[in-house]
Structure 1
Amino acid sequence: MLRRILIVVLAIVVLAGGGFLAWAWHDELPAEPRRDASAYDPAVVAKGASLAAIGSCAVCHLAKNSPSFAGGYPVETPFGVIYGSNITPDRDTGIGTWSPAAFRRAMHDGVDREGHHLYPAFPYDHFTGATDTDLDAVYAYLMTREPVRHDVPAPQLTFPLNIRLAAAAWKLLFLRHGEFVPDKSQSPEWQRGAYLAETFGHCSACHSPRNALGAEKRDEKYAGGIAEGWIGPALNAASPAPAPWTAESAFNYLRRGFDRAHGHVAGPMQEVVEHLRQANEGDVRAMATYIASLNGVAAPDAAAKAEQAVKNATSRQWPIPGRETTGSGGSSTTGLDGAAIFAGACATCHHDGGRLPISRPVALGLSSAVNGADPRNLLQIVLGGIHPAPNERGAIMPAFSGTLTDPQIVALADYVREHFSGKPKWNDTGTALEAIRRGKNS
């Protein structure tokens, strides 16, 4: 009897394995003859450029000292490092031999022209919902870029994840195919924004928690995530922002990188905003409308609550009348006086009524980095500062990584949290700083 059971179990395993291999197998698609850039409709190319900007494609498909879209950017994951591929029309190292069908297959199914499974660091779990027409526009845009011969390093992943079939198994568990269908009860602008945010924008990729296998937790969508060592704050009802997002404030943030009720962009969002400035303005406004709806606050109520939050935060600006700048409860677990450090390093810019020849920063009490449950983003900003892209105008904050000691940075962060947010102090500021120093991104 035991022998029969084992035979049945073995047969089931063999059949299941064979079925999985048959499902996972993809043929190599024919190479596409090279077409001249002039063969593509300029209007379609322009549309593709805007969609590529919404997707921030150049962020992961660009490395330091390499031309645009030539690949090589190291994407660090809990499972190892994956390098952004070369998506220029170079025929040897890029996608110059790919047909529109091959490109659509990569975007919809995560399978390249040769039939290899792509790792989900490439967010095809979002791009799978894009329409063929839009994907063809992005294809036309990429095929009219300058071909660049650039070999990209192979992924550095642990066994067995370095086997491409592991990506196929991941898809079997988590990839849901099909064109994105927005809620038809919403306005056309909301529907457009939902489509763009959920497909090309892949916003929830950074703003949602992930499970042990790296897939987004669908039941906690937009509840906050981690990207490149930064916290992607929750955008739903769990948002730490004191001011609810409105369509206008979300547009200001996404398009201009600043909103009076939410402050300046920092970290990975800076690159996102740089690209959204190149996208169609109407599409960015549509995305803002959708994102503002995620917190569940009606538009009129959100605007009123945002205005009240600005007033509340401004009333907590430094210094408060009657409060001394030192020796007044600003000490942290380090024993240092955070208020004194703030007075010397920060108050010149971060106080009410500043008269610097630049725009005064938003009230710290409005910052998600200050109000969030995790000190990581505030520490990252203190360490690295905020700097505009080359040849761009924007907020400037100096980096204090080499100016303040780690105990001083911890004391400063604890003071800012306690004084400006009115929320309970963080208990793990020092541990979070150590993790950042070690380059731990999760």
Structure 2
Amino acid sequence: MTRKSRWLIAGGVVIAAALIISFLLMWKPAIAPVSPPAPTSFDARTRLAGARVVALGDCIVCHTAKGGKPFAGGLPLATPFGTIYATNITPDVGTGIGDWSLEAFTRALRYGVARDGHLLYPAFPYIHFTRMSDPDISAAYAYLMTREPVKATAPANDLIFPLNFRPLLGFWNVLFLHPGAQQPDASKDTEWNRGKLLVDGLGHCASCHSPLNLIGGEKSGHAFDGGIVDGWEAPALNALGAAPKPWTREQLVTYLRTGRAGEHGAAAGPMLPVTRDLATVPEEDVQAIATYVLSIQKAQPGATHATGSAVDSTSPEVQRGATLFAASCAQCHGPDAPMQSIGERPTLAFSTAVNAATPRNAIQMMLIGNGWHGEDSMNYMPAFNQIYNDQQIADLASYIRATYSQRGAWQDIEAMAAKLRKEDDAR
């Protein structure tokens, strides 16, 4: 037998062993379907508690497609590995979870396993939901089972090979799924422990606000260091103390409940619908979240001074940006704009996006804006993607950085604008 043949056989044995191990890790028995429970079988108190749990978990945000029925799925979730489509979690029997028992629902939240036994992709944050209490899970089940059933099948996921091979999730779960209730810290008070449970568990904040490793797991040792979601930067939650105006607890509570904070700015992108959910829960929940988040602040080297080369305010791009700003932005964001006081819009000098290490969110705000939300016009900003080209967006960003931030110049702004515009158009 030649050396090449031996290597081929050895390679085949390794692949076969990996497939067998993957199957053993992946295989879970199906849980028998049930008849949809009657809405009247759940009491009003439990349904109300469920509404609170579902809002804190942001379930409607991910499980509702643009223009679709609530909780009916179909929303495309962009990942570095392709697109995953959110599933239907209405009580429809054919396409939703209408034939799921509480046992099946609990297993999905705790272990990422569907009723029929297949493993769920971790875009569904079961690695955080696994910390949920039994009463919270039961309440969420009661609430969802009393929603309007919607017959809607989500499109097939579009993932790159081999990540579209579900058995690999068995290995992924070994690395990142750690089931078990979160134990309270006896050295902390009740509010802090409640906040930690909401942030780490039901609220799954680290899913968006942490960087991911090469296989899509939250990078070890970098929780809350910031991440990228749907083309937007989810800022580092442990750097709020290093903002030009450090966040206070009261400001963070207001921001999480209203989508705006007087000395910081307005929520946009994926965060905006989260704040609309948090507006519906008891304020004590949001206060607990804010208390915990502000307790995890870390020193940020270089945060108080410019990073990178200084912005040349006389450069051609900054001068062109000044003209564009006067034409399209100064009415709301200029120093003499009435909306600065009437609308409680903060100066751009305090903006998280303007002071960020990259121009990503500033560009996205200019390209996408903040849509009109009826009478709640406070967070409105028009989109400029059909008005300004990539160079003009870059010029505006250069002017804003030079005028309103003490930090260093952004690099390759036009290239990022072109990239983000292409990604936004594909969504």
> TM-score under structure 1 normalisation?
0.86
1:159-308 alignment runs, 5 A limit: 159-237=161-239, 241-296=243-298
Q: Is the Cα–Cα contact under 8 Å of residues 195 and 291 in structure 2 kept in the other structure?
A: yes
What is aligned with 2:397? 413
State yes or no: 1:364 paired with 2:348: yes
Q: What is the aligned partner in structure 2 of residue 124 from structure 1? A: 126
Residue 112 of structure 1 corresponds to 114
2:316, 2:179 → 1: CA distance?
Answer: 50
Provide Cα deviations, 1:358-410, integer angstroms capped at 9, x if missing partner: 51420111111000101010011112222343454432222222223322221
**Is the counterpart of residue 44 in structure 1 residue 46 in structure 2?**
yes
Please name the residue that 1:140 is paired with: 142
Opposite residue 177 of structure 1, the aligned amino acid is P
The 4+ residue runs of structure 1 with deviation greater than 6 A are 1-13
Aligned equivalents of 1:239 and 1:210: distance in 2? 23
Identity %: 43
Structure 2 equivalent of residue 439 of structure 1: 423
Q: Which of 408-417 and 89-98 deviates more?
A: 408-417
Q: Corresponding residue for 2:155?
A: 153
2:329 corresponds to: 346
Question: Does the CA-based 8 Å contact 2:206-2:224 persist in structure 1?
Answer: yes
Aligned mates of 2:402, 2:152 — CA distance in 1: 49
CA contact (8 A) 1:240 1:368 kept: no
SS in 2 for 1:82: strand
Cα distance in 2 for partners of 1:331, 1:430 equals 18
Q: Is the 8 A contact 2:26 2:169 kept in 1?
A: no
Deviates more, 1:145-154 or 1:353-362: 353-362
Q: Residues of 1 paired with 2:56 and 2:281: CA distance? A: 6
Contact map agreement 1:250 1:289 (CA 8 A) in 2: no
Cα–Cα, structure 1 residues 119 and 153, in superposed 2: closer, same or farther, change >3 Å? same
Deviations 1:200-234 (Å, cap 9, x if unpaired)?
Answer: 11111111111111111120111110000000111
Indicate how the Cα distance of structure 1 residues 7 and 184 shifts in structure 2: closer, same or farther if over 3 A, else same: farther
The one-letter code sitting in structure 2 at the alignment partner of 1:368 is T
1:337 partner SS: helix
Alpha-carbon distance in 2 for matches of 1:329, 1:369: 19
In 1, are the aligned partners of 2:211 and 2:226 still within 8 Å (CA)? yes
One-letter code of the match for 2:53? L
Where 1:206 maps in the other structure, the secondary structure is helix
Distance 1:136 1:335, change over 3 A: closer
Question: Structure 2 vs 1, CA of residues 5 and 70 (structure 1 numbering), >3 Å: closer, same or farther?
Answer: closer
Distance 2:387 2:25 in 1: 56
Between the aligned partners of 2:328 and 2:245, the Cα distance in structure 1 is: 27
Q: Tell me, what secondary structure is at the counterpart of 1:349?
A: helix
Aligned to 1:32: 34
Deviates more, 1:272-281 or 1:88-97: 272-281
Q: Which whole-Å CA distance do the structure 2 matches of 1:49 and 1:335 have between them?
A: 49
The whole-number CA distance in structure 2 between the counterparts of 1:67 and 1:8 is 52
2:318/2:402 contact within 8 Å kept: no
Q: 402, 405, 426: which one pairs with 2:386?
A: 402
**TM-score, length basis structure 2:** 0.89
> Aligned to 2:104, which of 83, 86, 102?
102
Question: Which structure 2 residues correspond to residues 319-398 of structure 1 after superposition, within 5 A?
Answer: 330-332=313-315, 334=317, 336-356=319-339, 358-390=342-374, 392-398=376-382
Secondary structure of residue in 2 paired with 1:67:
coil
Cα distance change of structure 1 residues 395 and 20 upon mapping to structure 2, 3 Å threshold: closer
Q: Which moved more, 1:264-273 or 1:167-176?
A: 167-176
| Alpha-carbon distance change, 332 to 435 in structure 1, aligned in 2, over 3 angstroms | farther
Superposed CA RMSD: 2.6
Letter in 2 for 1:27: P
Superposed, 1:36-75 pairs within 5 Å as 36-75=38-77
Alpha-carbon distance, 1:173 to partner? 2.2
Give 1:140's aligned amino acid: A
Aligned to 1:78: 80
CA deviations 1:20-43 (Å, max 9, x no partner) are 422321001011222211110211
Specify the code of the residue in structure 2 equivalent to 1:370.
V
Note closer, same or farther for the CA distance 1:98–1:348 as it changes in structure 2 (3 Å cut). Answer: same
What is residue 317 of structure 1 aligned with on the other side? none
Task: Tell me, yes or no, if the aligned pair for 1:332 and 1:415 is still in contact at 8 Å.
Answer: no
The CA deviation string for residues 77-101 of structure 1, in whole angstroms up to 9 with x for no partner, is 1111111100000111100010111
